[in-house]
Amino acid sequence: MTETKTGTNTNKPAGLTTDRTIRTRKLTLTAAFGALICVIAPLSVPIGDVPLSLATIAVMLAGTISGPAAGCCASCIYILAGIVGLPVFAGFKGGIGVMAGPTGGFIAGYILLAAVCGLYQTIRSSGSRRDEARQNKKAKMKLPQRTVLLIALCAAGTIMLYVTGTAWYCLITGSNLTGAIATCVLPFLPGDAAKIAVCTTLTAMLEKAHI
């Protein structure tokens, strides 16, 4: 007599496995970029009331690589770490007093910067669930198209950062708009243009490496 043994199929649905993989990747990127911002942000050059900080490069990358939600969460991790007193703000400062000071609007604006830059991932993947062919087309977006999209979104996010930071600076210091722009915007234009270029280059490199 031949016995047929039947076993329980333990294979998990492909969709469930994919969702968990994506979720794990997002959590990993959120933690990694949150830590990266905390490490880079204290490195700054004091040029007045608003220091020149490297934090924006890490914030931009958090958005362009991990997407808007994870990028915002990474920025929130950084902000909360600073609020509780860790020396992660520019100049190795920390505490709620920094957020309440003249530069607080720029720090809070990192959330908007990450969200806008993160739209890069949203735009690239839009329509992928509706049509596999369209997904392949998005994935093969040509380098010039990706570059233009990255530059445009990083520039838009930087403008949002200027708006929130300058508005808060005016509120705290009582400065007029002209004076605030001279302090909070004009000195940073060349550096931020360079940061956008660096972010665009690094994003392309990391995507090529399938990060």
pLDDT mean across residues, the chain:
87
| Strand partners of residue 53 | 44
Which CATH number fits the domain 24-208, given the four candidates 1.10.1760.20, 3.20.20.60, 1.10.3720.10, 3.40.50.300? 1.10.1760.20
- The tens place of each residue's pLDDT in the chain, 211 residues long, gives 444 444 444 455 555 667 788 788 889 999 999 999 999 999 999 888 899 999 999 999 999 999 999 999 999 999 999 999 999 999 999 999 999 999 999 999 999 999 999 999 999 887 454 445 544 554 456 778 889 999 999 999 999 999 999 999 999 999 999 999 999 999 999 999 999 999 999 999 998 887 6
Q: What is the CA radius of gyration of the chain?
A: 21
The pLDDT tens digits of the residues spanning 11-70 come to 555 556 677 887 888 899 999 999 999 999 999 998 888 999 999 999 999 999 999 999
In our burial notation (b when 16+ CB lie closer than 10 A, e otherwise), range 42-74 reads: bebeeeeebbbbbbbbbbbbbbbbbbbbbbbbb
User: At a CB cut-off of 8 Å and minimum separation 6, what does 161 contact?
Assistant: 56, 106, 109, 110, 112, 113
